Amino acid sequence: MIELPFGREEYRRRLNTIRAEMQRRGLDILIVNDVANQHYITGYDGWSFYTPQVVIVPLDDVEPVWIGRAMDAAGGLLTAWMRPDNIVGFPEDLVQRPDRHPMDWIADWITRRGWAKGNIGIELEAYYYSAKAHAHLVAGLPNARIEDADLLINW
């Protein structure tokens, strides 16, 4: 068992605060791109944001999901508080490809979970979130209404 920087109840308290603000803003899910906010929500601690990674927070009371490069998912299993099923790695063959993007896979994963409709908040001011990543994510979620969720967590 890992030793978390905070107890699970603290992470749940943080999620309750985030979900209250999501509800106030009318968001069904939140896609967290800011690496500091990812750590705040999950405890995930890894220098892996050189490639796209996100934490998805659904409005309903389920655990968040960390999604990143498959080889970095092992770090999630060691540092994040969620169940192993909620640490998801995208395929390695998506890394550094001019013809494919990890956000295409992430959008497809969101769709398979049934979360691709409704209002989706995305942190558009996150330092490591590129315009290309955003374009691929939006293109992969054509039935969603995308909203800027900047400062929802780190206000």
Q: Calculate the average pLDDT of the chain.
A: 95
- In DSSP terms, 147 is beta-bridged to 121
Average pLDDT score over residue span 76-88: 95
What Cα–Cα distance (Å) separates residue 151 from each residue in 39, 41, 54, 62, 154? 15, 14, 16, 22, 5
Reported as a single tens digit per residue, the pLDDT across 87-140 is 999 999 999 998 999 999 999 999 999 999 999 999 999 999 999 999 999 999
Residue 67 lies in a domain: yes
Residue 15 lies in a domain: yes
pLDDT of residue 2: 67
- The rounded distance, in Å, linking the Cα atoms of 3 and 17 is 23
Q: Among residues 71, 68, 20, which one has the least CA distance to residue 42?
A: 68
Burial of 98 (0-12, 13-18, 19+ CB in 10 A): exposed
pLDDT of residue 139: 98
Residue 33 lies in a domain: yes
- The rounded distance, in Å, linking the Cα atoms of 120 and 142 is 11
Percent of the chain whose pLDDT exceeds 70: 99
Under 8 Å CB-to-CB from 67, ≥6 apart: which residues? Answer: 53, 54, 55, 56, 88, 89, 90, 106, 109
pLDDT of residue 36: 96
Structure tokens at 3: 């030793």
CATH number of the CATH domain containing 120: 3.40.350.10
The structural domain count of the chain equals: 1
Q: Flag whether pLDDT at 153 surpasses 70.
A: yes
Residue 154 lies in a domain: no
Q: Flag whether pLDDT at 65 surpasses 80.
A: yes
Residue 135 lies in a domain: yes
